[in-house]
């Protein structure tokens, strides 16, 4: 009986210490993962035109800051970012690539950028800052983003 009691207490002690509300994030092992992790640290940050901090962020500011942490200097404006690196076909997009959009139908200029965080079964996920919801991850399969998509570029 004593053995059973000790076994139950041991199981309780081993399992009770394992729960925590704070998840441990393993440090990213390569440059692309570190850039993505840096951008994801701003998830939920409100939108602010010209913003580059946790107090407010715009789409190009998010990309600019994330890449800057890895000593990769990009232009500050999305349409200028769209001239850097190598153009990539949508079917060849990888995590770490930049995706560019034209969301203003009355203009032919690129005015939005996102960072690809994952590609799963051909579905492209990207983090970006929107005026309505701030910094979040979206899918290129969403109709709005699919219709606004202009190009993808690889700068890493």
Neighbouring residues of 90: CB distance < 8 A, sequence distance ≥ 6: 124, 140, 149, 152
- CA-closest candidate to residue 153, choices 58, 89, 72: 89
pLDDT score, position 4? 42
CATH number at residue 46: 3.90.1720.10
Question: 0.85 exceeded by the pTM?
Answer: no
Distance from C-alpha of 140 to C-alpha of 98, rounded to nearest angstrom: 12
Task: For residue 9, tell me if it sits in a domain.
Answer: no
Give me the catalytic one of 36, 112, 127, 152: 112
Mean pLDDT computed over 6-11: 43
Active-site option among 45, 100, 128, 152: 128
Q: pLDDT tens across 34-83, in order?
A: 999 999 999 999 999 999 999 999 999 999 999 999 999 999 999 999 99
- Total domains in the chain come to 1
Give catalytic status of residue 23 as yes or no.
Answer: no
The answer to the question of residue 11 being in a domain is no
Residue 14 lies in a domain: no
The answer to whether residue 48 sits within a structural domain is: yes
In this structure, is residue 60 part of a structural domain?
yes
| Domain-located, residue 13 | no
Three-state secondary structure readout of 106-146: CCCCCCEEEEEEEEECCEEEEEEEECCCEEEEEECCCHHHH
Q: Print the domain residue range for 129.
A: 30-154
Active site annotation includes 94:
no
Q: Could you tell me if residue 4 is inside a domain?
A: no
In a domain, 37, yes or no: yes
DSSP state of 44: T
Answer yes or no: 128 catalytic: yes
Given 57, 59, 99, 135, which residue is catalytic?
Answer: 59
Half-sphere exposure at residue 47, Cβ-oriented, CA atoms within 13 angstroms: 13
């Amino acid at each position: 009986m004593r053995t059973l009691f000790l076994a139950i207490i041991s199981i309780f002690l081993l399992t009770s210490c394992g729960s925590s509300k704070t998840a441990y994030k393993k440090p990213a092992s390569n440059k692309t993962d570190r850039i993505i992790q840096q951008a994801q640290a701003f998830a939920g940050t409100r939108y602010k035109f010209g913003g580059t901090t946790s107090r407010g962020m715009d789409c190009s500011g998010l990309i600019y800051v994330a890449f800057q942490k890895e000593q990769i200097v990009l232009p500050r404006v999305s349409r200028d970012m769209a001239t850097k690196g190598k153009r990539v076909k949508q079917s060849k997009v990888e995590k770490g690539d930049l995706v560019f959009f034209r969301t203003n139908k009355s203009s032919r200029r690129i005015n939005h950028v996102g960072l690809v965080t994952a590609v799963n079964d051909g579905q492209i996920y990207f983090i970006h800052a929107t005026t309505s919801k701030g910094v979040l991850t979206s899918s290129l399969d969403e109709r709005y983003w699919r219709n606004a998509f202009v190009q993808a570029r690889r700068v890493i």
